[in-house]
Amino acid sequence: MNLFELESVTFRALRDVTAELPAGATCVWGPSGAGKSTLLRLLNRLADPERGRVLFRGRDARELDPLSLRRTAVLVQQLPAPVPGTVEANVTYGARLLGRDVDVARLLEHVALRAACRDRDAKQLSVGEQQRVMLARALALEPEALLLDEPTSSLDAAARDQIERTLEHFRNDLGMSLVLVTHDRAQAERLAEHFVELERGRVTAAA
């Protein structure tokens, strides 16, 4: 069964999009303005389509509890959006809502951040470090899938490679599915085995 399916979805830039996103790593690729980020927001139910349906594991997303869906398939936005407070407060945010304990040190290690960062103000970190805190925060929810919106767009090559290795680790060792939005074709090929290509809101290729 597919992780996600879109059936004739129309919403903002997206026009009558039908696509299957299997478990594993899927890359949604396309130029700016193609509707890639909009598609991720629909998968996370931050918005609902004007027409058509989004299915998660075969069930209409509208019939699912949105909060539970968001914890199962966690969105990491393109721009880091830390909540006010320390790195630790950010990493534990979602898990604390559920009353769960979090091994912060282990999560920071997963995203290649030094343990000494945990008490720093998250907003004082570099954008690349903030992006990794956002990844650790998503990971703390132990999701089935990560929905990643251009996760390396604000990073230099070294940091990008580090994040890509982390994502491969999530996928290969933790069995997590990834839906990755990028306009970087080479990155798409490095990280994903399934592809959906969008252009001007329409699917132009899928594999």
The residue ranges that bind another protein (CB under 8 A) are 44-48, 62, 66-68, 70-71, 74-75, 77, 79, 81-84, 93-94, 97-98, 134, 137-138, 141
Pick 140 or 203: Cβ nearer another protein: 140
Select 51 or 185, whichever has its Cβ closest to another protein: 51
Closest contact distance (angstroms) between CB of 5 and another protein is 19
- DSSP for 18-53 reads EEEE-SSEEEEE--TTSSHHHHHHHHTTSS--SEEE
Instruction: Kindly report the length of the chain.
Output: 207
Q: How far is the CB of 66 from another protein (least distance, A)?
A: 5
Q: Helix, strand, coil: what percent of the chain each, to 5?
A: 40, 30, 35
Nearer to another protein (CB atom), residue 137 or residue 197: 137
Q: Shortest distance, CB of residue 120 to another protein, whole angstroms? A: 18
Residue 10 CB neighbour total at 10 angstroms: 14
CB of 98 to another protein, least distance (A): 7
Answer yes or no: are the C-beta atoms of 175 and 72 closer than 8 Å. Answer: no
